[in-house]
Amino acid sequence: MKVFVINIGNTNTEYGVFENGQINEVTSCPTISFERSMIPSCIPVAFASVVPSKNSIFDGLDSFRLSAQSKTGLDFSNVDSSTIGADRVANAVATAFTEKLPAVCIDCGTAITFEIVSSSRAFLGGAILPGRTLQRKALRDHTAQLPLVPLSSSLDGVFAGTSTADAIRLGVDAGTVGAVKEILVRVRNFFPVGELTLIATGGDAEFFKREISELEIRDNKYTLYGIAKAWEMNKSEN
């Protein structure tokens, strides 16, 4: 049986078809443009959404909405599960069922989120910080003169900002890499040396891989797979 899987994010929405354990036909569009006409009517739908205004699109459809209260195969008893975003739940499910545990998944998008999963498939929590684009927009929107600076693909050779734009690039990009590294230091303190798998996914994952070599990149199907895996566990109740 196949299912149409959708991940509605703050900036972009990704969707594809899950069948025989694989995600195919993956497409992405700006979330503001995602509408009901993009959802096929002939197969079930499974979705994760962090944009409440988009949830009404699924009214009346044969749909499964992922949350921490769904069957996931994960133990959420260590955290306040009522506050965990569906995208983070999906990433945790994908991590729990595809990676060597314990593991941490870092989703590098509008926000950078960390999902930590123990060797017993317990969700231990994580961290959330603004992504590089969001920080750039905050500087543009909340100052009088700072510009919106395009993303850079790396920090190679940069040691000081010799213009305002370069200073923003260095401050935001090096600062965000430093923040991610510091969070990983703290996470590693809870696990024996060498036992933590580090996964990065999301649109900005390649940038962080260049700066943190231990990260293992997963493609844009990762979160969708977590949604599909949870759907499989819940479909008898749909």
Catalytic residues: 87
Contact 165, 143 (CB under 8 A): no
What one-character DSSP code corresponds to residue 66?
A: -
How far apart CA 96 and CA 90 sit, in angstroms, is: 10
Which candidate, 54, 53, 87, places its Cα nearest to that of 68?
87
Q: Could you give the 3-state DSSP secondary structure of residue 48?
A: strand
Q: Which residue in the block uniquely carries the two structure tokens 């734009």?
A: 165
Assign 3-state DSSP to the chain and report helix, strand, coil percentages, each to 5: 35, 25, 40
Burial status of residue 101 (CB atoms within 10 A of its CB: 0-12, 13-18, 19 or more): middle
- Dist CA 171 CA 152 (whole Å): 12
- Amino acid found at 202: G
